[in-house]
Amino acid sequence: MWLALFTLNAGAQSICSVSSTGVNFGTYDPKSSANVDVTGTVTVTCQATVSLGILYTVKLSAGSSGAFSQRKMLNGAATLNYQVYTNSARTTVWGDGSSSTTYPTDGYLLQVLTPVTNTYTAYGRLTGSQNVIAGSYIDTLTVLVTY
């Protein structure tokens, strides 16, 4: 599963960009009851043309399932359930604030022409014992940084 990348520009006062490393679960064994836990990252870099304070949010889409309650990777019509969390305990779903999801918020004072970078860990979990067919499963999440 890979997270989509976007670059955002809020005008002449500041410029923010976002990049990510995918949450890649590797090879899945449907006979194993163990969860597969991996991480990815979302990195936000902002640079101002003048000194100013900036506040922003980092939201993730629901992906191809259209629902935060259970994200799904697809292999044709076959699905493989997974989730992405904001915390290492994997109890808080990273989303857009709807359906009991949460998202990182951050802020700082930007200095002229000095970029500030923050990295957020995406904690992925693929639950064990899913009866699925062999093949490649994929989903794409969109990262939305609002500032």
Instruction: Output 3 or 111, whichever has higher pLDDT.
Output: 111
pLDDT digits (tens, 9 = 90+) for 112-130: 778 889 999 999 999 999 9
**Residue 147 and residue 56 in contact, taking contact as beta carbons nearer than 8 Å:** yes
E strand spans, 10-51: 14-21, 36-48
- What percentage of the chain has pLDDT greater than the value 70? 86
pLDDT digits (tens, 9 = 90+) for 17-55: 999 999 999 999 999 999 999 999 999 998 876 667 788
Average the pLDDT over 124-137 and give the result.
96
Specify the pTM: 0.87
DSSP letters along 120-135, please?
EEEEEEE-S-----SS
Question: Buried b / exposed e across 22-38, counting CB within 10 Å, b at 16+?
Answer: bbebeebeeeeeeebeb
Q: Is the pLDDT at 135 greater than 90, yes or no?
A: yes
73-100: pLDDT as tens digits: 999 999 999 999 999 999 999 999 999 9
| pLDDT(8) > 90 | no
| Whole-number pLDDT of residue 16 | 87
The pLDDT score that the predictor gives to residue 126 is 97
